[in-house]
Chain A
Amino acid sequence: MELLNDVFTAKAIFIGIVFAITLGIAAYSTYFERKIAAFMQDRIGPDRAGPFGILQPLADAVKMFMKEDFIPANSNKWLFIAGPCLSMLTALMTSAVVPFGDTVTVAGVTFDLQGIDVNIGILWVFGIVSLGVYGILIGGWASNNKYSLLGAIRAASQNISYELAMGMSIIAILMLTGSLSTKTIVETQQAGHWNILQQPLGFLIFLICAFAECNRTPFDLPECETELIGGYHTEYSSMKLGFYLFAEYINMFISGAVMATLFFGGYDYPGYAFVAGQFGTTVAAFVGMGALIGKSLLFVFVFMWVRWTLPRFRYDQLMGLGWTGLIPLSMFNVVVTGFGILIGQPILAGIGGVVILLAGLFLNDAIFRKKKIA
C-alpha cells in the first residue's frame, strides 16, 4: 500500500509537470510563431516586451484576461462557454498516453515517465482526436452567427475526412508492432530502428492528416479570414478566444509528440545505451524525455514553417485530397507494409512502395497529360 501511494504521488507530480510543460510550450509557441513569421518575411517581429520580446506571451495573456468577456445576446449561453472549455480539455487529454521516457527511480520510487500505460494507447489518442471537433462545433453553433456556423461545419467535415486516412496510416504501424500500446510501439523502435525507415509513406500521410486535424495552414479553412471573418471563433473575445487559440498550439505540440512516438523512436536518441551505462538509467530516461520534447518541438517548427510557406487550399481541393488522395494512398501503404512483413524486409518494402508509387504517378501523368493536350 505504501509503495502504491508513492507511485501514485510520483505519477501525480509527473502529470503535473507534463501539464506545465505543455502549457509553457504552447505559450511560447505563439512567440516563436511570430518570430519565425517575421524571419520568413524579413521583419523583426515582437521585440518590445523584455529582451528580444521574450515576455510577449505574458503580455498577451494579460491582455487576453483584461479584455471584456462578451457573450452575444442571442447565443446559447452555456454551450457558448462550453465550446472553448471542451477544446482545451480534449487538447490536454491526449498527452496521458504519450510515453515521455523509460522507467526512472527518483527518491527510491520506481515509475514510468508516462501518464498511463494502457494496452489501447493509440486508440485513446485516436478517440480524443475525434472528440476534438466537438469544442469547435459547439462553439460555432452556439455563437448564433452564420460565419461561425460555417466555420464549425467546415471543421467537422474536415476532421471526419482526415481521421480515416490517419487511422489507416496508424494501422500500418500496428501491423509492424503488433501492439496498440504506445509504450510497446516505442520499445520496438529502440536503438535506431525507427519506424520512419519502414513507413516513409505512412509518416507523410500522418503528417498531412495532423495538419488537417490541428486546423493549421494549408488546411485552416475553418478560420479562413477571407471568406469567414474569423471562422468558428468570430464571436469570441477575451480568454475564451485565448482558449481556442491556445488549444490549437497545444494540439500542435501533442501531435508532434505523437508523431515522434509513432515514427521517430519516441524517447530514443543516439547514444542512449552509452548514457545509460555512464550515468545510470534514470539520467538516460530524463535525457530521453528531453529528446522526445525536442523532437516534438521540431515538428512544431515544421507546422510553422509550412504555415508561412504554403497558401491555403480551396475547400473542394481539401476534400478531394482527403478522400481521393490520402485514403487510397494509405490503403496502398497498408498493402505494402503487409507485403514487407510477408517477405521479412519491411524497410525494403517501405522504400520500394514509395518508388513504385512515384513511378506509377509519373506514368499516369505522362499518359493522361498527353491525351488532354491532344
Chain B
Amino acid sequence: MDVSNIWYFLSGLTLLSALMVVLAKNPIHSVLYLVFTFFCISGHYVLLNAQFLMAVNIIVYAGAIMVLFLFVIMMLDLRKNKPESKSSLTKLAGAIVSGSLLVILVAAFHKNNLPAPSGETTGFSSQTGMVENLGKILYSEYLLPFELVSILFFVAMVGAVLLGKREAGERNF
C-alpha cells in the first residue's frame, strides 16, 4: 500500500474520532474517542518517522492524562447529574465563537501563504525524528527553553503538592 493512502486513511480516522469526541452523548465514550484520536495522531508521528514522539505521546496523553480524565468522570458519575439540554442562547454563542475561530485560522493560513510541500528531497533526513538526534538538538541548540520548561513543570508540581497537602489539624474527610 502506498504511504499516501495510509495517510488519507489515518487522517480520516483521526477527524472522525475527533468529531465523535464532540458528538458522543456519554462522557465516557467521549473520553475513549479522545484516546483513540491520540492513537491516530501517534500513527501520524510514525508516518513521519518520529518514533520517540509517538511513544511519548502514547505514554503521556493516552497513558497518563486520559486515564486521569476517565478516572474523574467515572468518579463523578455524570449520568446522574447531567445538565439539562443546553438553551438555544448557549448554542448560538458556541456557534459564533467557534465560527469566528475558524475564520481567524483560515485567514491566518491564507495571509501567510504557506508554501505547498515540494517534491524535492535534498536536505531532508529521515533520521531527524530519531531520539538521538532529538536529544542532541534539545540539549545543545534549545538548551535554555528546555531548562525553562523544566522549571515551569517544577513550579507546577510544587503548586499541586501545596494544594493537595493537608494542613495539620485540618479535617481528614
A-side interface residues toward B, CB under 8 Å?
A: 76, 79, 118-120, 123-124, 126-127, 130-131, 133-134, 137-138, 141, 149, 152-153, 156-157, 159-160, 163, 180
Contacts and interface: CB of A to CB of B under 8 A. Distances in A.
A120 B64 contact: no
B55 A127 contact: yes
Contacts of B130: 119
B74 to A, nearest CB: 5
Query: Of B54, B63, B130, which is in contact with the most chain A CB atoms at under 10 Å from its CB?
Result: B63
B74 A127 contact: no
Contact of A156 (B51, B56, B59, B70): B70
B74 A163 contact: no
Nearest to A118: B51
A136 to B, nearest CB: 10
Interface in B11-64: 26, 28, 32, 35, 51-52, 54-56, 58-59, 62-64
29 contacts: A79-B32, A118-B51, A119-B130, A119-B132, A120-B51, A120-B52, A120-B131, A123-B55, A126-B55, A127-B59, A127-B63, A130-B59, A130-B63, A130-B67, A131-B63, A134-B35, A134-B70, A137-B67, A137-B70, A137-B71, A137-B74, A138-B32, A141-B70, A141-B74, A152-B74, A153-B71, A156-B70, A156-B71, A160-B67
Q: List 3 tightest A-B contacts by C-beta distance, closest first.
A: A130-B63, A123-B55, A127-B58
B101 interface: no
B137 interface: no
B87 to A, nearest CB: 29
A163 B51 CA distance: 21
Interface of B: 26, 28, 32, 35, 51-52, 54-56, 58-59, 62-64, 67-68, 70-71, 74-75, 130-132
A69 B55 CA distance: 36
Chain A interface mostly helix, strand, loop or mixed?
A: helix
A160 B59 contact: no
Contacts of A152: 74
B55 A120 contact: yes
B97 to A, nearest CB: 32
A180 B74 CA distance: 35
A153 B77 CA distance: 13
Contacts of B26: 76
Contacts of B131: 119-120, 180
B108 to A, nearest CB: 34
A156 B67 contact: yes
Contacts of B132: 119
B71 A157 contact: yes
A123 B56 contact: yes
A119 B51 contact: yes
Nearest to B130: A119
Contacts of B28: 76, 79, 141
A311 B63 CA distance: 30
Contacts of B75: 153
A131 B32 CA distance: 12
Contacts of B70: 134, 137, 141, 156
Contact of B67 (A79, A119, A133, A141): A133
Given A79-B32, A120-B131, A127-B55, 13 more contacts: A118-B51, A119-B132, A120-B55, A134-B35, A134-B67, A137-B71, A141-B28, A153-B71, A156-B70, A160-B64, A160-B67, A160-B68, A180-B131
